[in-house]
Structure 1
Amino acid sequence: MKKEPLAGKYSTTISGVLFLHLALWLLAVGSLSAAKNKKSLPPPSLQETFSPSQLKEDLKVLREALEEGHPGLYLYTPKEDFDRHFERAEEALDRAMTLREFYLKVTPLVEKVYCGHTYFDLPQKLLNSLLKDAPQFPLPLVFLNQKAYLDHAALELPLGCEITAIDGIPMEAVMKKLLPQARSDGYNETMKYHILANDFGLRHFLSFGPAQNYRVDYLPYGSEETLQKQISAIPAKKLEGRLTQRHSESPKRKKYKIGAVEKGISLFSMNTFDFGLNKKGRRKYKDFLRQNFSELEKDEDARCIILDLRKNDGGFVGNDAQLFAYLAQAPFRDFRSARMTTLEIPVKDHLSRHQFPKMLEKIFAKEFKSLETGKFTMLDEKNRRWTPKKNAFDGQVFVLISGWTHSGGTVLGSYLLNNDNVTFIGEETGGGHAVFTAGNMVLYDLPNTLCQLEVPLILYENFKGSRSFPKGSGIRPDHKVTQSQEDLIANEDTVMNFALSLARKSIPPKVVPRK
């Protein structure tokens, strides 16, 4: 389970971006000293008040940055609807508001982009302070089928009990207020619930305000009687410690590993693609793939791979395609298309520190060409062609997916939709199955509130197969499997157990060597 708050991973243009060019990163490192000269304003407090004109100026900058730069702004919300939402938001800014009020007004508006790479939040320094000292709801939670359960074995309430209400507010109503603060591609909410399992304390604090105590209604496992208990708030830093001690928390995971589970079945955990900025890291990954798939080819008993992508929320370009080359059944490309709205970074005056618009624009000019529509598409030669490896695995592949499977993790899943030997197990991915916006991203600081807005600049169409899902969906599993309350308490991996059962059934009782 991720430990970083919602604000953590995407708070800069360098960390966690799927298609960030290595050249950009290298140039950026050399330019940091110049960027440090930009004046850094102290962050406001949550209760600092802003005038209507200041709030409207911030909304105007936010709107211009999205409308002029975001290539997928109208994928799921038509322009006329967005225009109406912005007009209503501006009308609502007719009085002085605190920073907290402004944030809660604007967050549902940005949510309408339905993009897991579009980021809106409080100023980073303020977030850092809140994540240290703010009094927060003290219970680590996990969400199973959109219900909240206690994910800790040593607190006031019993492990695995269902939390049904907080301060008399049913959890359904609580989550309705919190969900707009979490992101996902399209309409599905699986990723949102995973994010809020990590970020619940902060987002509840922002939505409902500070409290010294909470009145919690809960239902112990196996009981039909709802109980109630008053529990005290704890500082955010203490809550962070509890999150690392969650009952479901697994030992520190390697970025990738493979090993035999039992005869004929291998487990390949691909937990991230967020590595390979340097030559050594890229070479290590290539060597890992080459060596392990060579060993699989030599293993006459190898029949199944369980590919675990449940924690994979993306990383750097090419890592997904390199792996798929060892699983592919036909030639493929990085993506079907990549498009931009503009090659010029909009609203430059309000870019955050350490942004490099001129550098980005030079890269875009070399990699994209204009269309008659006024949009821009990536040059064909920049979209790499791949062929399956000679030792590509041809057995059954059982792919484990979850709401955390996003960005590059879902890109790999979309590649696998081209194969006829793949079965998806788990829950719908947080990343879009067909298109998504990511690529080089730019971070803005709104001029008055200093709230952050990060905008992805490239719209990618996945190189997916003929299988399709409803618009706004992630990859939907062939077998929807969610951990049960009983398995949560027993710390049983329900999804893995289901995959192992299917894998065993796919292998003949007596393994016959492959030809």
Structure 2
Amino acid sequence: MRSIVYLFVTALISFTCITLRAQTSRALFSPAELKEDLNYLRHLVSTVHVNPYSELTPAQYDSLFNNIAASLEDTATATALLKKIRPVMARLSDEHAQLNLKSALLDSAYRNAPVYLPFMLKKKGNTYCIDRCLGNAPAGYSGWEIRSINGVPVDELVSLCALATIGYPDQRTETALHQFGYLYPWAAGTLTTVFNITSTTGKIITVPGIFLKDWEAFFATQAVPACAERLSYTRYGDTGYINACSFDVKAEGRYSRDSIRAVIDGIFKQVKADGITQLIIDVSRNEGGSTAVGDYLISSIYHKPYLSYQTNWKRSDEYLNLLRSWGFDNAPYAAAPVGKVLHFASERISPEPVPYPYNGKTVIVIGPATFSSAMNFATLIRDNHIATLAGQTPVNGHPTSFGEMFYTTLPHTQLFVRFGVKEHIRPSGRVADNYLRPDIRLTDQQMSDIHEMIRHIIAVK
């Protein structure tokens, strides 16, 4: 059974360590209210998420929740609860999951004080080094091998930062390194504005913190640029290059499903007119949208039946009510008993008839940003041996993953919760190495220069 998958910051010149008290103009919540929100989250994880025990056993999850509940003996803010329960969502190994509070609702220290570290980390062997520096942090810090920060071993901090994010364990660790300074306040026991950094040689430097807005500005520079066109085509001699930078669709207008199909048809009409013998479809910067777009692209380049994804779908009243609020009432889903995991085996899909079928060689380019339905598209290509994959291994996207999002807010703190009710299992089945690796490896230079990309692909093939 197929589904559409939608659907995720001035240094303080001070060298005195200041311990901040988290302040907020929002109400404090009683222990009873905090525990009600925690118990509701426990209920959602155990009964709505399709496979909450891919990483922890039920007993381990119970222990995690029980330990959090035992710590809720005083009034606290929503931010304080968020800090305690982020590891719950991390352990789902769900790269689409979210647990957050709008920045405007965070405790004032998180919003307005320089409690964020101004650098990222990288790992060299068993050593953690300062990598890129942000704000006014001296570039000379880069390369420093760190032992501890404010007396806490850095490896312990990395582990705690990883539990403040989402995704698979190795994915969380990579995020913890690349976003270390941003995630640090969620791992630290107390918030401070100045940090004592101890190197592996015992040298200590004092580093002032930066603000949330500094990290947000950095993230904005790292975001995949929005593309003016969802799909575009350029001819390079006998090679056609399709930049499929987004599979996003809208209900109507130029990005509606029918409009995008018309764009694809127009591209392949031109491909035919140009006499293209090799086609490159680039989804390396594509963060997904609708699987229907990827399916229609496959129909344009492949004309035999192929295997679809397998799907597990958890039946819950909460998700059924959400479906009904959208105007849907899936009869097989509604009729299934609560708690049942409905399994849909791979189906043999017949491609749609298209007006301009392409029969030449095809290469699909993937990259670190390939995600969600773009990942599904590339995985269908790989597992059905439809075309060659080139590029780099996606960082966040995985061939087998969770999708189709349930979302809600916790009743008292209004923390936003989102996770998958479906598990999409690649056509070839589960494998230990849940990564999509290219057949042809491209360097960063080849990924950014289309002429270099084409030359390398032609040389290798």
Q: How far 1:395 moved relative to its partner? A: 1.0
Partner of residue 240 from structure 1, selected from 216, 219, 224: 216
Q: Is the 8 A contact 1:118 1:455 kept in 2?
A: yes
- Which secondary structure state, in structure 1, belongs to the residue aligned with residue 192 of structure 2? coil
Counterpart-to-counterpart distance in 2, 1:318 and 1:144:
40
Q: Is the 8 A contact 2:30 2:74 kept in 1?
A: yes
Is the 8 Å Cα contact of residues 469 and 476 (structure 1) preserved in structure 2? Answer: no
Partner residue of 1:359 out of 292, 313, 325: 325
SS in 2 for 1:438: strand
Cα displacement (A) at 1:70:
1.5
Q: Which residue of 2 aligns with 1:45?
A: 24
After superposition, residues 216-295 of structure 1 pair within 5 angstroms as 230-244=206-220, 246=221, 253-254=227-228, 256-260=230-234, 262-282=236-256, 283-295=258-270
Letter in 2 for 1:285: I
Q: Which one of 284, 305, 318 corresponds to residue 292 of structure 2?
A: 318
From 331, 349, 374, the equivalent of 2:305 is: 331
Offset at residue 64 of structure 1 (A): 1.0
Counterpart in 1 of 2:5?
19
How big is the shift at 1:157? 3.3
How much does 1:66 deviate? Answer: 1.8
Provide the C-alpha distance between the structure 2 equivalents of 1:357 and 1:251, rounded to a whole number of angstroms: 32
1:443 aligns with 2:397: no
Q: Per the alignment, in what secondary structure is the counterpart of residue 328 of structure 2?
A: helix
Matched, 1:189 2:171: yes
Q: How many residues align?
A: 434
**CA distance 1:64–1:467, change in 2 (3 Å):** closer
- Residues 103-132 of structure 1: CA distance to partner in whole angstroms, max 9, x if unpaired? 333211221111122222235641497775
Give, as a single letter, the amino acid of the residue that structure 2 aligns with 1:19: V
1:260 and 1:266 in contact (8 A); partners too: yes
Aligned residue identity for 1:456: G
Matched residues in 1 for 2:218 and 2:53: separation? 40
SS of residue matched to 2:301: coil
Decide whether aligned partners of structure 1 residues 410 and 101 sit closer, same or farther in structure 2, where only a CA change above 3 A counts. same
> Which amino acid is the alignment partner of residue 387 of structure 2?
N
CA 1:86 to 1:233, structure 2 compared with 1: closer, same or farther past 3 Å?
Answer: closer
Which residue is 1:300 aligned to? 275
Which structure 2 residue ranges, 5 or more long, are not aligned?
8-22
Query: Residue 202 and residue 414 in structure 1: after superposition, are their counterparts in 2 closer, same or farther (change >3 A)?
Result: same
Q: Tell me how far apart the structure 2 counterparts of residues 60 and 131 of structure 1 sit (CA, whole Å).
A: 26
The percent of aligned pairs where both chains have the same amino acid is: 14
| CA drift at 1:180 | 1.6
Query: Which TM-score applies when normalising by structure 1?
Result: 0.68
Query: What is the root-mean-square deviation in Å for CA atoms of aligned residues?
Result: 4.5
Q: CA deviation at 1:98?
A: 5.6
Query: How much does 1:99 deviate?
Result: 4.6
Q: Does the 8 Å contact 2:249/2:255 carry over to 1?
A: yes
Q: Does 1:211 align with 2:211?
A: no
Matched, 1:392 2:358: yes
Q: Is the 8 A contact 2:6 2:288 kept in 1?
A: no
Q: Distance in 2 between matches of 1:147 and 1:261?
A: 44
1:368 is paired with a residue whose SS is helix
Change (3 A) 1:261 1:108: farther
Aligned residue identity for 1:466: S
- Call closer, same or farther: CA 1:258–1:482 in 2, change over 3 Å: same
Equivalent position amino acid for 1:174 in 2: L
CA offsets, 1:330-365, max 9 Å, x none?
33476433523224548x8xxxxxxx56425x6243
CA distance, structure 1, for counterparts of residue 350 and residue 276 of structure 2:
32
Q: Give the aligned partner of residue 19 of structure 2.
A: none
1:455 CA displacement: 3.6
Q: CA deviation at 1:53?
A: 3.3
User: SS of the counterpart of 1:73?
Assistant: coil
Query: C-alpha distance in 2, partners of 1:303/1:499?
Result: 13
Deviations 1:10-58 (A, max 9, x none): xxxxxxx95369xxxxxxxxxxxxxxxxxxxxxx939976554333222
Report the CA distance between 1:63 and its aligned residue: 0.7
Structure 1 residue 275 displacement after superposition: 3.0
Amino acid at match of 2:194: N
Q: 1:452 aligns with which of 409, 413, 416?
A: 416
The 2-side partners of 1:267 and 1:132 are apart by 44
Q: Is the 8 A contact 1:254 1:271 kept in 2?
A: no
**How many Å apart are 1:505 and its aligned residue?**
0.7
The Cα offsets for residues 244-277 of structure 1, whole Å up to 9 and x where unpaired, read as 4x5x777654453444484344443333323323
Structure 1 unaligned blocks of 5 or more = 1-16, 22-43, 220-224, 349-355, 484-491, 508-515
CA contact (8 A) 2:365 2:389 kept: yes
User: Which residue identity lines up with residue 132 of structure 2 in the other structure?
Assistant: L
